[in-house]
Copies of this chain bind each other. A is one copy, B any other.
Amino acid sequence: MLNFNFYNPTQIVFGKGEMKQLDKLVPKDSNILITYGGGSVKKFGTLDKVMDELKKSNRKIFEFGGIEPNPKFETLMKAVKLVREEKIDFILAVGGGSVMDGTKFIGIASCKDEYIGREEELLTQGMISVEKTIPFGTVVTLPATGSEMNNGGVISNKENKLAFFSKKSFPIFSILDPELTFTLPKTQVANGIVDTFIHVVEQYVTYSVDAKFQDRTAEGILQTLIEVGKETLENPTNYDLRANLVWCATMGLNGLIGAGVPQDWSVHMIGHELTAIFKIDHAKTLATILPATWKVRKVEKFEKLVQFAERVWNLREGTDEEKINLAIKKTEDFFNSLGITTKLSDYGVKESDIDKIINSLKSHGMVKLSERKDQTLEITRKIIEKAL
């Protein structure tokens, strides 16, 4: 096991009807900003429920809607202006990963007074050292990114995606009521399942450091996703199925399974470029790059791929190589069964586009990826070719 530091102070309030805790959790006699996305929280009544709770005590409440998927820097800076003007004390993010990530950025940027007038520099150096933020909580409506219990975020600026994290940007609390996710479009739930699956394997399919708790917990999440994935898509109002998905999505990226093990975020790094350039959904980019990565990097990840095949897919017959091949096939079939293709060409990406992707990775410094930092751009090119 590698040495590690684990710290996660977010309070999780989980279960049906737990919105009723909001009045107790959000500061009173203060200025609150509610952040949300495209309006489905309005359409399905979640925002009304939030308001009803917050109005139980003395608070001045402001709203900022319209945070888009892959939230844009310029959108978020409008919220920063509002936070400053109205002296917001606490932000409540109501939505999925984009709203939560955006809210983390808003909170930090609002406290970075030294960047006023040169806001764009926040993206390059402003997020490196974070001393202060506006405290915030979340009401989660989409299980996927784990943002509700971690300190990281990703935001967009033109064709760039910026990942950031800081010890200060954990939510104070997150309310996870699985029932709030019942009305999600099928494709978003499918995206969430795939995103979670890939978060987990990026912390697991690397090389072994004999971290048994972390491995078995990762395997437990993967097995659960396989068990409930298709079923919760087909039975969106089945509480137990959805509750298991929601909790696994949170546990997949809250630091727990990644503590003390090598990590390989190459699939996410390539995926971010694909989303920025081709506007493909985040999870869908991952679903194409992951199997291709395993096919190209079979030797480097051999031991853990065998373990993945045996323990997650229960494959005990044949040679190790055969087990791996079948496990990759089963993983692709699983994504397909959720309605998500694993071929990049299905999204219109062509061989002639690869140079652009490679150049973009290069310009973002992504020239040595993977758990051993040995995935060169040449190898990445092979992976993208394989994913077509």
Q: Assuming A217-B220, A220-B220, is B12 touching A6 (CB within 8 A)?
A: yes
- Once the chains bind, are A4 and B14 in contact (CB under 8 Å)? yes
Please report the C-alpha to C-alpha distance between residue A74 and residue B12 in the assembled complex, in whole angstroms.
37
Contact with B along A1-39 (1 / 0, CB 8 A): 111111111111111111000000000000000000000
Q: Give A219 to B220 CA distance when docked, in angstroms.
A: 9
Stretch from A93-101, A156-164, A243-251, A378-386 forming part of the interface with B = A243-251
Q: B5 contacts A13, CB within 8 Å?
A: yes
The answer to whether A227 has its CB under 8 Å from any CB of chain B is yes
CB <8 Å contact, B240 and A210: yes
- B18 near A14 (CB under 8 angstroms)? no
B4, B15, B215, B220: which contacts A1 (Cβ < 8 A)? B15
Q: Residue A260 contacts which of B11, B247, B259 (CB distance < 8 angstroms)? A: B247
A315 on the B face (CB < 8 A): no
Q: Check B8–A8 contact: CB distance below 8 A.
A: yes
Whole-angstrom distance between the alpha carbons of A27 and B290 in the complex?
Answer: 45
Complexed CA–CA distance, A240 and B210 (Å): 7
For window 176-192 of A, CB contacts with B under 8 Å fall at none
A224 touches B216 (CB 8 A): yes
Q: How far is the CA of A5 from the CA of B15 in the complex (A)?
A: 9
Interface 1/0 per residue, A255-266 and B, CB below 8 Å: 010011000000
Chain B nearest CB from A56 CB (Å) reads 19
Cβ of A212 under 8 Å from chain B: yes
Chain B residue at minimal CB-CB distance from A12 = B6
A7 CA to B212 CA in the complex, in Å?
24
Q: Give every chain B residue within 8 A of A5 (Cβ-Cβ).
A: 11-14
Do the beta carbons of A18 and B1 come within 8 Å of each other?
no
Find A244's partner among B211, B224, B247, B248 (CB 8 Å cutoff).
Answer: B211
A14 CB to closest chain B CB (Å) equals 5
Interface positions of A from 289 to 334, Cβ below 8 Å from B: none
- A40–B216 Cα distance when bound, in Å, is 34
Residue of B whose beta carbon sits closest to that of A243: B1
Whether the pair A220, B228 counts as a contact (CB closer than 8 A) is: no
- Specify which chain B residues have a CB less than 8 angstroms from the CB of A244 in the assembled complex: 1, 210-213
Q: In the complex where A224-B216, A244-B210, A260-B247 touch, is A7 in contact with B2 (Cβ < 8 A)? A: no
Please measure, in the bound complex, the distance between the C-alpha atom of A224 and the C-alpha atom of B259, giving whole angstroms: 17
- Chain B contacts for A76, CB-based, 8 A: none
Report B-chain residues with C-beta under 8 Å of the C-beta of A223. 212, 216
Q: Contacting A212 at CB < 8 Å: which of B2, B16, B212, B228?
A: B228
Considering residues A1, A8, A259, which has the most beta carbons from chain B within 10 angstroms of its beta carbon? A1
Task: Answer yes or no: A221 CB below 8 A from chain B CBs.
Answer: yes
Which residues on B sit within 8 Å (CB–CB) of A213? 220-221, 224, 244, 247-248, 251
Q: How distant is the Cα of A224 from the Cα of B311 in the complex, in angstroms?
A: 14
A7 near B11: Cβ-Cβ < 8 Å? yes
B13 touches A240 (CB 8 A): no
Residues of B within 8 A of A16 (CB): 3
9 A-B Cβ contacts within 8 A?
A3-B14, A3-B18, A9-B9, A14-B259, A211-B244, A211-B247, A213-B244, A217-B217, A256-B256
Additional pairs, 11, CB under 8 Å, beyond known A3-B14, A9-B9 = A1-B247, A4-B15, A7-B10, A8-B9, A211-B244, A212-B223, A212-B227, A213-B247, A213-B248, A216-B219, A217-B217
Q: Write the residues of chain A forming the contact surface with B, with a CB cutoff of 8 angstroms.
A: 1-18, 210-213, 215-217, 219-221, 223-224, 227-228, 240, 243-244, 247-248, 251, 256, 259-260
